Every structure is written in structure tokens, then in C-alpha cells.
Structure 1
């Protein structure tokens, strides 16, 4: 008799360790559970987030340092493969012989998620003479060579440069799998358009399998804005939202070009010299090299009267940010401190849009929800802005948005992002 779906290999997180205690300890960390030890090898778990639930289970496989004798590691039959594998070891354990002894059986699963988790210590681990002197880079390189991601269980949840770390990274990876038991929550599917607000979106082939589709603004912008710009106290930072809106409204090509701020076009100078209004290119060009490498120039004070009109939309991104900073009387707020590099944007985009066969809105929003939780937990305001900017621009880059193709849609997006 075939197993029910939640207990089948397709819903299995294979957890491999040299002893049961270490395997169960990692399961408890991932599931945020302190369940009493019952020596069970199968531990059910319901993945639950804002967008979906999925019934899955951990299967604990206790192995030794040799490959002899029977093993419960799954066969290579197509219907027996598992989507996720977690290899558990401790910092003093001789992990390489243990891992290599079972590598062939592990990799035969072609799992979507393969993670090696290192625990700080264990009384039951077999000591390794050299493991105490091995640095993390060497361990990371070893597992990367075999298709596994290396995670330190004791790492803090978020690092400004490395992104999600520790057990939250494991949890995030497991949430990204399209489990066959996945059930979307009511009200979080794209469905049909609500009202008439729709934004044509061209999806990049690398990110979502070459497909194109239109997404409703109601489905995306409110969740995205809340996910990226909520402070630890739960309040929205109007300055961050205004900065993002200004970037969307500004000339996209000029936004990433090094700017001599001594000749920034403002409403007052534009009225005196109408011939100096810069031309607006037809689309967004994702070459950020000059902008990232160019040093900022001093910004003179502008005491002229404010005005509204087309010239304000032609202001570059940097001038918009400076104007916002002046308005908020925050002289220490330097936008170049938190604007991401091209590599950071690409990394964020790759995390949001995983290499799936087709675009899945629930997966994208689930990842954004996880990023929102990480960002809201960052105490340092500058680091929180950096993380939010990486996520926002990673989303824009992954969707292939061209903000200049349709001014009405761009303005509409800007209005949608004004979340109180």
C-alpha cells in the first residue's frame, strides 16, 4: 500500500547525522519546537506562513563512517527521491569521511535543497584531530564542491553582507520548495484582477523560465511595501517609501549615472534655464558600474522656492534622496551608504526568484515575507535600509520592470506604494 502524501518521499526532509540526538536537535531548531525526545525517526511538521501551508515530515537517518550494511537512505527510484536533505555534524566531528561515505546515495536524490548544518558541540560526536583548526571557508568550499550549502547553526539570523544565516537560512530554504501538499491561504492567490489596476510586467527568462505574465498591483505592491519597509516596531517609514517612489518616478537611466550635484536640475534653476532640461531615455539600463564607482560630489544648499511640474520628475535619483533628507532635516542620512551594488541586487533577485520551471507568485511573496521578517529584526537603521534597498531593487530587477514604458502605470505604482 502506497504511503499517504504527507508521509511520502516527496514530502520528506531527509536529516542525516551520526547520532539521533544531533539530528533531532536540528529538527527542533528548524521547527522552533522543544518537544521531548521520543526516539522517533519520523517527525511530522506543518510549514505555515502568510501565503500557504504544507504538511511534510523529517526522516532521521543515523549513519556511520562507513558505507557497509543496509541503509535507509532512499533509493534512486524516481518516485522515491526526496526534495530536501540536511546533513548534520558538529565542530569537533570527523565529518568528511562520514559525508563522503554516503555521498553517492545522497546526491542520487537530486534534491532541490541540500544543506550541511554544523552544530557547535556534542558529547556524542567522534573527535577529529584537525577539525578544530579548519576554518569556515575551507568547510564551505568542501560542501560547495559536492552541491551542499554550508550553514552554521549558531550564526545570528541576519548579516548585512551575507544575508540570512544560521537556522533561519535552513527554514527559508525549506519554505521555498513547492511541496505537493502545499495549500494556498485564502486571499493570497493572484486570481483575477481586482478593479482595473493592472501593471504589465515582463518577466526575465533567467529568473522565471522565460514566461511572461501580467500581475495585479493589488497582489504585489502592498505586500511588497509592507514587507520591505516595516520597522521593528511595526511602523512604516515614510521616508523610505518616498525614496523608493522617487526612484520609480525618476529617469531610470539617470538614476544610476554619476551626477555632478552642483548642476542638479531643480524647479527654480529649470525655470531660468529651460534649455538645460536633461533628455529622458526610453528605458531602464541595468549598468550600475559608473554609479557605484563614482564618488559623491558636494551638494550646495538650494533655497529657491519649491514648485511642481514636469521638471521635478526629471531630477535624478540622488537629488530626490538629498531633497528628502533636507526635508526631514537629517544631515547624516547619506543614500549612497545603503544603495546596493549590482552584485547585491543580482543576489537578492536570485533569492526572490528561484530557478523554478514557471513563475509562482506564492513562492515569491513567501520569500519576501521571510525577508521582511529578517529586515524588521535589524536594529541598526542604516543596515535595515541597506537590506530593504537590496530586496526592493532585487525584486525590480527580477521582474524586469521598465518604469518609463508607461508613465501612467509608473505613477500608479508610486501611489500604491504610499502605505500608511
Structure 2
């Protein structure tokens, strides 16, 4: 029987294993790590309900644990995520080949292979990558994952990956207090604004001062998501920072306090992001020093400033500043005139941004060369950061003139 008779397939996560018990176990572990403390479904239940919840949205979804032998009887159309889990002494390579044969006509957004036991197989990542799955080490304890949120891979990586899906059940969480709208004289938020147009300044200010490591991790996760590649060549085995030496080596390019706002009355020391939506909206500020450093950098893997600007323009569209840098721009307005603040426009169209990122992700993942994928992912991620910074600067300038 297909769980789709009672729950939509588009909100389903199929969990496959040679043991139904293992399938249920991994589903419950992911649910527990995400912070969903609702009572567990009975062991006889066909589905395990999970609500992805954070500051900005909730998304009711469900796991459908099944036995590997029953996969051929499951309808996978519209299912966005498939997880294969296994324990010690199981023929996971043979099982994966069987799984791929039965799912070859489907293209889920997220495909994970989670090991529930330690292994000495050093070629696992490459093996699963060749079959379209991301390998995740799931044998660490839930408590250990919670103590080190930046630890990857691990069950937390599964939570991160599943949270990147644009679930049709996603509902925006009502904000009790908007940092921007609380400043009545400077507010650029509008009533009746479309739900998808999130209050940009609220998101940015709400990041707080949670440390460079979390911000850096979020940028790295965006790069990973864009590249959709965990190829071993992407990481340096001697790199304790997870393979992103090119980004970490330019730590000074980012401002030390990228989330600080000087807007009067804005709260400070706000608690940092505690959810996975940060992969889309959290990014470090780029100062003017970053521009010259990126242009002059000798690391050929880093995109040039022109590349970053081009990526930013593609993601966000033309910005106000991009049209005001011409030689006659200073004469386009009278000496006493000031830019007019558009009170009815959202900071940016989140639908456009996410759609463009999805398109770029598809383009990058189809590149055959690992080095080119890495370069393209860095270009897109830094273009995203640059665009956010430009938008923030324009909002600050407009608010001061309002």
C-alpha cells in the first residue's frame, strides 16, 4: 500500500533499508536532531510525521520507511527525497545498485546514503557519488551532533539537506516583532506584502553576533548545495577546515562584525540563526577591501570581482547602485534632490532569487570537471553574498534619507 493514499507524495521522504527497523530508526534520529519532540508514531505506523520548524517557516512532511524488497511497489513520482540506510555487515554496494535500478526513472532533489556503522571503506564517497547519492556518516551519537553543529558529515547533514527542499507544505511563521517595522519612521515594510517576500533587514539583523565560524559554515553549505558534489577531490585530506581553504584563507576579506547595524533603535546581540533556512539568507558582509583583494588574488580557483558582480546581477537582477555609477550620474539629479524611497517594494524577490539559485545549481552539478564545479560554486555563492550586501547598503542609505 502506498502512503500517498493519505499523505501527498510531494511531502514524503522515502527511507529504504534491508531492515524496516533501520529505516524507522534513521527517520526518528533525523526528527529528533531537528528538535521535533512530538510523540513518536507507533512502530506499526506506515509513516513517521515530521515538522521542519524554525523562525521563518514550518513544513509538515513525513518519512515513509520501507524494506528494500518493497521498493518496487512504491510510487516515487513527485517524491523529493530518498534515503538509503544500512548497518554493519550489510552488502550496501549490492543494495545501492539494486536501489538505483529501481529508481533510475526518478530524479529526487535529495538522495542520501547514510551509514549506521563505522566503516573502513575509503571509496564510499566516490561510490555513492557515482550512483547519484551523497554519503553521510550516521553512526555518531545525536548528542555529539548537537554539541558540534558544524560537524559534517553526520545526521545533521541529513537535516540540512532535507531543509533545502522547497516543500509545498511550507508555511511562513508569523513574526511577533519585526526589527525593521518596529522603527516606524524608517520602515520600508508594507502591509499585505506577499508571504514569500521576506523582510530582508529582519533576516539580516536577526542573525546577531553568533561568531565567524557559523557564518563561514553557512556560506560553505551554500557552496556545497550549489555544487551538489562531495567528490573526494574537492577536499584536501590535510585540511582541517573541511576542504574550503580558499575561503578560509581570505578570512580577512570579510568584516569582523558583518551583522552589526547602525540604525538607531535596532536591537543588538540578537540570538543567531538556529535553523537550516540560513543556507538561503545568511551570508557574511563583503567590505570594500574584499573587492580589491579578490581582484588581485593569485588563487586561480577564486572568481574575479567581475565574475562575482555578474553572478550577483544574475541572482538579484540589476541593483540601484549598478545604474548610478556612470559618468553623468552625479548630474542626473539637482543638487538638493535626494533618492526617493520606494515604500511599496520588498527588499528583493525571494522567489526569483531561489529560482535562479536552483537553475545555477543544476548547471553546476552537470559540469563534468570537478575543478570547474568548485569554481562555479564559489562564484555563485560569493555573488549571492555580494548581492545581499549591496541590497543591505541600499536599504541603509534609503532609510537614512527617509
User: With structure 2 as the length reference, what TM-score do the two structures score?
Assistant: 0.50
- State the structure with more CA Rg: 1
User: With structure 1 as the length reference, what TM-score do the two structures score?
Assistant: 0.48
